[in-house]
Structure 1
Amino acid sequence: MTRSGVQEEDRRESRPDGPDVPDVPDGLETKDDPGVPGGPEAKGTGGTGGGGRPRRARRALRWTGLALAVILAGTAGAGYLYYEHLNGNIQQDPLNLGDGKVAAPTPNAAGQTPLNILVIGSDARDSEENQQLGGARETFGSTPLADVQMLVHVSADRSNMSVVSMPRDTLVEIPKCTDPDDGKVHPASDGRVMTNQSLGHGGPGCTVATWQELTGIHIDHFVMVDFAGVVAMADAVGGVPVCVDADIHSRDAQGHGSGLKLEKGTHAVKGEQALQWLRTRYGFEDGSDLARAKAQHMYLNSMVRTLRENATLGNPNKLRRLAEEATSALTVDPGLDTVKKLYDLSDELRRVKPERITMTTMPNRYVGARVEPTEDAEQLFRLVREDIALDGKDAKKKPAEPREPDDPAAPDDEIAVQVRNGTRTDRLGAAGGRANTVAGLLVERGFTKAVADPSVLPSEERTLVRYPSADLEGDARSVAKSLGIPASSVQRSTDVSGVTLVVGADWREGTAYEAPESDDRTPESAEALNGADASACMKVDPAFSP
């Protein structure tokens, strides 16, 4: 990994003691506000305190729009020495720190494959400049949290782009990760914890591993951006237009809020005001992280449109400043660690027109003060896995044939299968005896180790075959094939310990499974926003409208 002497010195600095800061900026209220997701009640669930290593390669902005916009801008035309200087600005970390692997998708007929980039933002404050912009000096040197995470999916034919945001307080199981610096092994989380804790388990590569475990989506790259880069980048492009439907001042009586102050209408924000927009939670809609994600989506869409339309980027000085700020702000995986690689990536991304960009938030439901993925979230993940555009403009296409698993299936009579009943629906109770019936079918077809679990699961809309690790994928595929269950319903899951067939609500009776017609629509609960929608406007909470 690339590290300068100054950065090594930064890593050795101890966390300074200091008085509490009463005026906590928005986004840092999770440190002392028990009433919001990520507050003190979460500290016992994942061990986020202590053990942090302040380092520049970890620092990143808690929002994600700029990271993609930087890539879209691209850099070119520098002389060799300047080119090497820019390369030296870029920080890198390993892509995946987990043991689990998700195979790359099958190429389409033209030999093209999709591109998946995880954009990560952290609340780390590990430099004086970033601390000054982010505030809260008591967080200096603490374990970073991945408070914003967005998956950017570019289709195989580069015709469309889909973005999926995950709320920071989503409950997930973080896999075992090994720190690339000191070899420390962070064990898998004991149960579900907040997804933002993954960054503290060795770095961004553990956040990548967590996403892959949850979604089954192969991730090609990750990108992070720091606070100082945000301020300078927004200035470099001349400001990013954003809209509020009423006057707003993001500040309450206790001092919570980003400080954003705008009059009703559209404004080109830049500098610290752009940072405030991206960090604002108090004042937007219901004051949740979901509202903040929506504001970030609007900013990102607007930034992309601005970069495409902004003639000032043809000015060499403007472009050089943009290149300098972009490379200094980035932390990436080794696959993106040079200007040339970033430029090549930008060339790929520039093919997508704004009207084919779709921003979404992972569908979720509250579990106390936290959230968890819903069935609609799995639908969204499936569309991404199968490279189906979220804007609904793809012609109906036959999914690519699944690749062969790395480990072939064992003989049928050696495969242990647990069959569970998930036929309950919102309107109907579980269909009696379904686990026994389907287990009997498997035994008749040679899977003599199939057994029925007498317990009844919560509703499962579709019949699924789940497996916990790559070495059992072939076994799971073999079970599904014997019953006519499509390959798209075979899923890796950390919720099972072996091959598990869940009989869903689509198979409440009979002995012949008929797969329902695939629904390729983006769930309404994903709150999709089109990249060309310049009319989007954030709704202001009247309590924050002066």
Structure 2
Amino acid sequence: MAHSDVQREETRPDVRPSEGPGPETSGRHGRRRARRKHRLLRWSATTLAVLILGSACGGYLYYRHLNGNIRKGERSSGDSKAHKTEANAAGQTPLNILLIGSDSRNSAENVKLGGSRDNRGNPPLGDVQMLIHLSADRKSAAMVSIPRDTRVDIPKCKDPDTGRTYEATTDIINTSLARGGAGCTLATWQNLTGVYIDHWMTIDFSGVVRMADAIGGVNVCVRQNVWDRPTAAVPGGSGLKMRAGTHKVQGKEALQWLRTRHAWGSDLMRARAQHMYLNSMIRTLKGQNVFTDTPRLMDLAEAATKSLKVSEEIGSVKKLYDLGMQLKSVPTDRITSVTMPNVEDPRNRDHVIPDGANADKLWEMLRDDVSLDKNGKASKAKKTTEATEAPSAPDGEIGVLVQNATASSTLGPVSGRAGTITQALVRKGFSQASKDATAGLSEDRTVVRYPSADLEGDAQRIAKSLGIPLSSVKKSTDVSGVTLVVGADWRTGTAYPKQSAAKAGDLPGNSDAINGSDTGQCMDVYSVYRW
């Protein structure tokens, strides 16, 4: 009924008030109450909608605020040709993230925390470098450190911020950050290890302090009283001072723990102390109900987004949250921390270099996604280690180019390898084999590459004739025909050396492995820094 009709009905002359409240009078009062009720409902619904919309807008604005905190940069800024590990039988791939701690003094806050005012304005160095490896099935993880004073080959890099190009050089690995940013450090790691790295994250002194405060502190342990201070013989020091035993550190004290080097005796022991801290931090976060405690979660989100600079493909709160949840799902007894096996650098006793076969074994385990611990169960999924053989042309019609890429980070190339293997192929009937005279190539592992599906069978035939596993035959757009790249793993002979498969937990003895569930770890203090 229209509103005007209601008004006419209420003023009809045949309504007799003297007869008392009849049915029509009751109807008028009922309609008024109904209208007031409807107005109340409309007001309540409008208020509720405003509150919901306000909360949603507030949440959206806060999400935008957090995203705005995040600084981003190019994933890679250097020459590198590392390839992603192939998916396992379930279609899963491992995830590798490079964590870089910079010594930047380019802010008053960092100078206050890190001293060395004379270094303000200088390009930062990557004094902490650690690869976080999550297995394809997300059931195990590894934290792998390379000491900052490791001499390595740094590739040609272009700084994405300044446009400056840095030519390839040999130097200690912490200088790579100053030669093209985190993307150059990532490329350096890839060339050294052969491990494809998906993302990088950097954090500076003030970022460490913010994160340590947001977490609320983590437990660390020293066996003797420690004071990392300047001495008559050695200047500097982190300032860390604590008594023997277990202590909860946060804020500036957490930064001092992570920066301490002299009191532990070496940069290698600093890596161990950092592993202890991170393991303790992971245990602490797992023991807290962070994801059901909104204020704590907001504090952590604020600290993390203000503290980190990340490669652009993970430059959002959602993607960082997803990464955190993937790491959170790994049990602590399946997390292993190690330091790259190393030996003294013959050129400079203050530096180190990778320890040949031991370092190569660690890199192989990471490339092949072999867990560094022995606590996992064998997968029931059928492993597909070999590719299906494809048809090939007759041996004499297969064209193949052989390249010498036997140079490694610690050893120079073996002269004449391309010619030797080419001759061996010709003797086997591959008359169209030829050698590539390009010098300076470097590949950790031998590989046969082909550009298109019609040449896959030819590439497999070349590999099979030399004993190279079919899993080392790869499709690649970097080649125009079948190309055999003789890597650093094949330095002698004409038959590819049989490779023994790496086993879970079978780590080199000098990798200083620590399990994430080990709460009994405690640092020894170098006698000069005891008090």
2:87 corresponds in structure 1 to 107
Give the structure 2 partner of residue 348 of structure 1.
326
Q: What's the counterpart of residue 441 of structure 1? A: 424
Asked whether the equivalents of residues 419 and 451 of structure 1 are also in contact (C-alpha less than 8 Å), the reply is no
> Equivalences for 1:302-321 in 2 at 5 Å?
302-311=280-289, 314-321=292-299
Mapping 1:25-424, distance limit 5 Å: 79-189=59-169, 192-254=170-232, 255-284=235-264, 287-311=265-289, 314-367=292-345, 368=348, 369-374=350-355, 375-394=357-376, 395=378, 398=383, 400-401=385-386, 412-417=398-403
Letter of the aligned partner of 1:383 in structure 2?
A: M
Report the CA distance between 1:206 and its aligned residue: 0.9
Determine helix, strand or coil for the equivalent of 2:333: helix
Distance 1:470 1:414 in 2: 9
Counterpart Cα distance in 1 of 2:339 and 2:120: 30
**In structure 1, how many angstroms separate the alpha carbons of the residues matched to 2:523 and 2:249?**
14
Q: Which amino acid aligns with 2:353?
A: E
Distance 2:186 2:397 in 1: 34
TM-aligned CA deviation for residue 355 of structure 1: 0.8
Matched, 1:536 2:521: yes
2:221–2:247 contact (8 Å) kept in structure 1: yes
CA distance in 2, matches of 1:306, 1:518: 36
2:27 aligns to what?
A: none
Shift of residue 263, structure 1, vs aligned partner: 1.0
The count of residues paired between Structure 1 and Structure 2 equals 436
Worse overlay, 165-174 or 412-421: 412-421
Aligned residue in 2 for 1:465? 446
Q: Which residue of 2 aligns with 1:15?
A: none
Change in Cα spacing, 1:540 to 1:437, as seen in structure 2 (3 Å) is same
C-alpha distance 174-438 of structure 1, shift in aligned 2 (>3 A): closer
Which residue type is aligned with residue 380 of structure 1? Answer: L
Contact 2:193–2:363 (CA<8 Å) still a contact in 1? Answer: yes
- Tell me, in whole angstroms, the C-alpha distance in 2 between the residues paired with 1:398 and 1:419: 29
TM-aligned CA deviation for residue 256 of structure 1: 2.5
Please give the per-residue CA displacement for 1:359-388, whole angstroms capped at 9, x wherever unaligned: 011111111221111221111111111111
Gaps of 5+ in 2: 1-56, 390-395, 409-413, 438-443, 477-482
**1:517 alignment counterpart:** 500
8 Å Cα contact 2:404-2:417 kept in structure 1: no
Cα gap change, 1:180/1:442 in structure 2, threshold over 3 Å: closer, same or farther?
same
Find the aligned partners of 1:403 and 1:127 in 2 and give their Cα distance. Answer: 57
Secondary structure of the corresponding residue to residue 173 of structure 1: strand
How far apart, CA to CA, are the structure 2 residues paired with 1:103 and 1:203? 21
Task: Quote the sequence identity (%).
Answer: 47
Please state how far the C-alpha of 1:498 moved relative to its aligned partner: 9.0
Matched to 1:534, the amino acid is T
* Equivalent runs, 1:423-434 vs 2, <5 Å: none
Q: What letter is aligned with 1:330?
A: L
Q: Could you tell me how far apart the structure 2 residues matched to 1:514 and 1:81 are? A: 59
> Aligned with 1:159: secondary structure?
coil
Deviation at 1:523, TM superposition (A): 1.2
The amino acid that maps onto 1:219 is I
Q: Which amino acid aligns with 1:154?
A: L
Structure 2 CA distance, aligned partners of 1:383 and 1:133?
Answer: 38
Q: 1:414 to 1:538 in 2, by over 3 A?
A: same
Matched position secondary structure for 2:111: helix
Change (3 A) 1:118 1:400: farther
Taking a change above 3 Å as real, the CA distance of residues 306 and 476 of structure 1, as seen in their structure-2 partners, is: farther
Query: Helix, strand or coil: the match of 1:524?
Result: coil
Indicate how the Cα distance of structure 1 residues 403 and 241 shifts in structure 2: closer, same or farther if over 3 A, else same.
Answer: farther
Equivalent pair of 2:98/2:130 in contact (CA under 8 Å) = yes
Q: Is the 8 A contact 2:445 2:488 kept in 1?
A: yes
Asked if the contact 1:120/1:148 (under 8 Å) is kept, the reply is yes
Q: How far apart, CA to CA, are the structure 2 residues paired with 1:452 and 1:242?
A: 55
Deviations 1:180-199 (A, max 9, x none): 2233222222xx21111111
| Counterparts of 2:181 and 2:129, CA distance in 1 | 13
Counterpart of 1:484 (choices 467, 475, 478) is 467
Q: Which moved more, 1:297-306 or 1:137-146?
A: 137-146
The 3-state SS of whatever aligns with 2:247 is strand
More helix by share: 2
8 A Cα contact 2:401 2:484, kept in partner: no
Paired amino acid for 2:252? E
For 1:36, the equivalent position in structure 2 comes to none
Alpha-carbon distance between aligned partners in 2 of 1:97 and 1:419, rounded to the nearest angstrom: 22
Q: Is the 8 A contact 2:418 2:486 kept in 1?
A: no
Partners of 1:222 and 1:332 within 8 A in 2: yes
Change over 3 Å in CA distance of 1:418–1:306 after alignment to 2:
closer
Alpha-carbon offset, residue 143 of structure 1: 1.4
Aligned 8 A contact 1:100 1:470 in 2: no
Deviations 1:60-104 (A, max 9, x none): xxxxxxxxxxxxxxxxx9811111111111100010112433332
Decide whether aligned partners of structure 1 residues 524 and 488 sit closer, same or farther in structure 2, where only a CA change above 3 A counts: farther
Letter in 1 for 2:518: D
> 3-state DSSP class of the match of 1:382?
helix
Of structures 1 and 2, the larger Rg is shown by 2
Report what 1:526 is aligned to: 511
Unaligned runs of 5+ in 1: 1-76, 405-409, 423-429, 454-462
Distance 1:523 1:540 in 2: 25
Separation of aligned partners in 2, 1:323 and 1:246: 36
- Matched to 1:159, the amino acid is K
For 2:406 and 2:157, locate their aligned partners in 1 and report how far apart those are by CA, in whole Å. 31
- Contact between 1:248 and 1:545, CA under 8 Å: does it hold in 2? yes
8 A contact 1:147–1:168 mirrored in 2: yes
1:476–1:282 Cα change, 3 Å:
farther
Taking the aligned partners of 1:476 and 1:275, their CA distance within structure 2 comes to 52
1:513, distance to aligned residue in structure 2 (A): 5.6
Cα distance, 1:522 vs. partner?
A: 1.5
| One-letter amino acid of the counterpart of residue 337, structure 2 | M
Q: Cα 1:91–1:502, aligned 2, differ >3 Å: closer, same or farther? A: closer
Measured after TM superposition, the shift of residue 107 of structure 1 is 1.6
Whole-Å Cα distance in 2 between the matches of residues 185 and 403 of structure 1?
Answer: 43
